[in-house]
Amino acid sequence: MTVQCELCPKLCLIESGQSGECRVRVNIDGVLRTVVYGHPCSVHVDPMEKKPLFHFLPGTDIVSIATVGCNLHCRNCQNWEISQANPEDSPAHILSPERLVDLTIKQNCPSLAYTYTDPIVFYEYTYDTAKLARGAGIRNVLVTAGYINEEPWKRLLEYVDAANIDLKGMTEDFYREVCSGTLKPVQDALVAAKARGILVEVTNLIIPTLNDEPEQIRELCRWVKSNLGGETPLHFSRFFPRYKMRHLPATSPRTLDTAREIAMSEGLDYVYIGNIQSKAGQNTCCPACKRLLIERSGYTILQNRLKEGSCPDCGREIYGVWK
Amino acid sequence: MTRRRFVQRILKAGSGILLGIVWLGKKASPRKFVWAKRLEKYPGPLKALGDVSKQGKWSG
């Protein structure tokens, strides 16, 4: 019997013995099953800044996990070896939600990230772990493309504290041709997460010739400002030739600087540049008095001048979760 | 046309319309998300959990 997976907008109709597009949700004898529950392929302790999250517990470590699989197939994917892998070919650990929460406590980490591939496709594992983690006082972070249907997204958000969500482009054509997805569900997911009170940061990977036109960047910034608010941190990330996009050059530093200038001129308060060394593009400054608040170098915090989440010079409250 | 045939036609048309409305209603109603059940046995190879304290090589 065919089953339909209603987790993401792809709504895969899965024949018996087959998997959905994500490769990890399968139909076994007419029952939808997740093959990666409790089986992460990657478990590490990362700096929070690597996610990247700049406004959520800066300077802390975060246990980070992923299973194989993804519901998008971005031609530029930097983690394609695991995101586009079949579970049959990919070694995985055995790690129940209970053991994962214990491990997080033992590592002395205040939070747990569901990241690297996309936590949407290991939804049930993410959900159960996040619920347990919340009960143990651990915060939950999603790093995701946000390609999910409304109902499962709202259920998961109940246990999420922060999310870095990709906004990969601003046209349906871009999402269709580069990612094999669609734009609208991602925008809806972003708005829903912000409305739920979750700390949301947005990442946009700038790919030469595909989404690097100033007008495209301006449109994205305007959308972020009017739908998520000017306080939402926006990370412009540098593209490197990977996977099926090895023919394109890496994004030039100038393009990233221009993107940051555009975003700030459109009224976004916190705009960062990632995947590249950039002094100004990594620091947090007060949007009111412009003084330096958090100085970073790579994933390291050099200084954090925030006082109770506010600027020590002018008292302006800074968007974020600081303790 | 006899009265019986006329009534039959009305009933046929009515049930057709009703079926259409039910079909449309099902299409328009919000999708109920169904939880995927856990598969106990991982289909690929298993590996031991090593030193997790080192930084991951993957992006994100």
What residues of chain A lie within 8 A of the CB of B30, using their CB?
150-151
Q: What is the ipTM, given to two decimal places?
A: 0.93
Q: What pLDDT, on a 0 to 100 scale, did the predictor assign at position A76?
A: 97
For residue B29, what pLDDT band results from cuts at 50, 70 and 90?
low
Which carries the bigger pLDDT value, residue B11 or residue B33?
B11
Average pLDDT over residues A15-42: 98
Domain assignment of residue A170, given as a range = 36-282
Q: Which of A156, A57, A81, A66 is nearest to A113 (CA)?
A: A66
The answer as to whether A274 is a domain residue is: yes
Please check the confidence at residue A205 and state whether its pLDDT lies above 60: yes
Q: What pLDDT, on a 0 to 100 scale, did the predictor assign at position A191?
A: 98
If you count residue pairs, one on A and one on B, with CB atoms under 8 Å apart, how many are there? 112
Q: What pLDDT, on a 0 to 100 scale, did the predictor assign at position A9?
A: 98
* Tokens matching residue B22: 């039910």
Please measure the distance between the N-terminal and C-terminal CA atoms of chain A and give it in whole angstroms.
50
The answer as to whether A181 is a domain residue is: yes
Domain count across chain A? 1
The answer as to whether A191 is a domain residue is: yes
Length, in residues, of chain B: 60
Give the percent of chain A with pLDDT over 90.
Answer: 98
Nearest CB among B44, B48, B49 relative to A90 is that of B44
The answer as to whether A44 is a domain residue is: yes
Are B39 and A35 an interchain contact pair (Cβ–Cβ within 8 Å)?
A: yes
| Locus of tokens 């001048």 | A305
Q: Which of A156, A136, A152 is nearest to A63 (CA)?
A: A136
DSSP assigned state of A321: B
The answer as to whether A77 is a domain residue is: yes
The answer as to whether A11 is a domain residue is: no
The string of pLDDT tens digits covering residues A55-84 is 999 999 999 999 999 999 999 999 999 999
Length, in residues, of chain A: 323
The answer as to whether A15 is a domain residue is: no
The string of pLDDT tens digits covering residues A97-106 is 999 999 999 9
Nearest CB among A25, A116, A149 relative to B31 is that of A149
* Tokens matching residue A130: 């996040």
Instruction: Indicate the range of A129-143, A201-215, A292-306, B4-18 predicted with least confidence.
Output: B4-18
Q: What pLDDT, on a 0 to 100 scale, did the predictor assign at position B28?
A: 66
Q: What pLDDT, on a 0 to 100 scale, did the predictor assign at position B34?
A: 84
- Predicted TM-score (pTM) of this structure: 0.92
Integer Cα distance of A305 and A294 in angstroms: 6
Nearest CB among B33, B34, B56 relative to A64 is that of B56
The answer as to whether A172 is a domain residue is: yes
Integer Cα distance of A4 and B33 in angstroms: 10
Phi-psi region of A243 (alpha: psi -120 to 50; beta: other; left: phi over 0): left
Of the CA atoms within 13 Å of residue A203, those in its CB half-sphere come to 24
Are A124 and B31 an interchain contact pair (Cβ–Cβ within 8 Å)?
A: no
For residue A315, what pLDDT band results from cuts at 50, 70 and 90?
very high
- For residue A167, the domain's CATH number is 3.20.20.70
Asked if residue A166 lies in contact with residue A203, where contact means CB atoms within 8 angstroms, the answer is yes
What residues of chain A lie within 8 A of the CB of B51, using their CB?
none
CB environment A169-204: b (16+ within 10 A), e (fewer):
bbeeebbeebbbbebebbbbbbebbbeeebbbbbbb
Torsion of CA A11, A15, A20, A24, to 10 degrees: 140
